[in-house]
Amino acid sequence: MNQQPAAESGAKPAYKRILLKLSGEALMGDLGFGISPDVMGFLAKELKGIVDMGVQVALVVGGGNIFRGEGLARAGMDRVTGDQMGMLATVINALAIQDAIERVGLEARVQSAIRINEVCEDFIRRKAIRHLEKGRVLVFAAGTGNPFFTTDSAAALRAIEISADLMLKATKVDGIYTADPKKDPNATRYDELTYDEALDRRLGVMDQTALVLCRDHKIRLRVYDMDRPNALHRIVSGDSSLGTLVRV
C-alpha cells in the first residue's frame, strides 16, 4: 500500500491503515513503573476516535515499563535471557491494552511473535490483516520474537508486513529535534526529515535497523507527542502540523 494520504484535511481519514508504536515507558505515566490506568484510559479513547473514523489500527508495544534488559546485561545477565524477559513484558502490556480497548467498546486482538497460546494468538500475517479489515484493533506483542532486535524494529517490520500507510511513533516530545530539547534550549524541531538524514545525523529517533527497514520499504513515519489530546485524530485526518514526518 504505502501510498500518499488520500486527503489532507476533513473528517475523512487520510490513512486507511496505521501502525502505532508505543514504548513501554509511555504506559507508565507518572508512576515510574508498570501500567497507569489513566494512560490506558486516555489511549483507548484516542484510539476509539480514529477507529470510529474507519481507520484500521495496529499497535506494537514495548516493555521497558516492566523490564529493561540493559541494566541487568551490564551486571552480567545473559543478553538473550534479558531480551526474552523483555518480550514477555511486552505481552503483559499488550494484554493490558487489549483490555482497555475492549472497555471502550472496541474489539481487540493480541498476536504474539512467540508462542504463548494460552494467553493470546500467534502472529499470523494473513489473520492479522483479516482482523484489521474487520475493524479490530490489533496489538502485536513480543517484538520480532528474536533477541537483539528492538520493538522499534518490530514496529517497522509489522508496518511493512501489514502494508501500513503510516507508522506513528508516540513519544513524550512533539517530534524530532536537532538536539535533546530537555538539555539544549536552542534545539529546534524538524517538520520533515528523510531517513537518510535521520541515519546520518544519528538523531536517536529509532535504532538504525528500524530506520533502514522503513527507508527501504518506503514507510512514512510520524513522530508525535502522545500526551496531546486529539493528536491521533488530527494526524489521521491529514493534519501535518503535529510532530515530525520521516520519509524516503
For residue 92, the one-letter residue type is I
Q: Which residues from 99-118 bind ligand GTP, rule CB under 6 A?
A: 109, 117-118
The Cα–Cα gap between 136 and 223 comes to: 23
Query: Which of 1, 119 has the CB closer to ligand GTP?
Result: 119
Among 12, 103, 125, 134, binds ligand GTP (CB under 6 A): 134
Choices 22-30, 51-59, 119-127, 165-173 (CB under 6 A): range interacting with ligand GTP? 119-127
The Cα–Cα gap between 157 and 70 comes to: 23
Q: How far is the CB of 134 from ligand GTP (least distance, A)?
A: 6
Query: Which of 4, 117 has the CB closer to ligand GTP?
Result: 117
Among 121, 207, 225, 227, binds ligand GTP (CB under 6 A): 121
Burial track 189-198 (b if 16+ CB lie within 10 A, e otherwise): ebeebebeeb
Q: How far is the CB of 118 from ligand GTP (least distance, A)?
A: 6
Specify whether the backbone of 84 is left (phi greater than 0), alpha (psi in -120 to 50) or beta: alpha
Query: Which of 12, 130 has the CB closer to ligand GTP?
Result: 130
Does residue 119 bind ligand GTP (CB under 6 A)?
yes
Residues in the chain: 248
* Residue 182, CA atoms < 13 Å, CB-side half-sphere: 4
Contact residues: ligand GTP, CB under 6 A: 109, 117-121, 130, 134
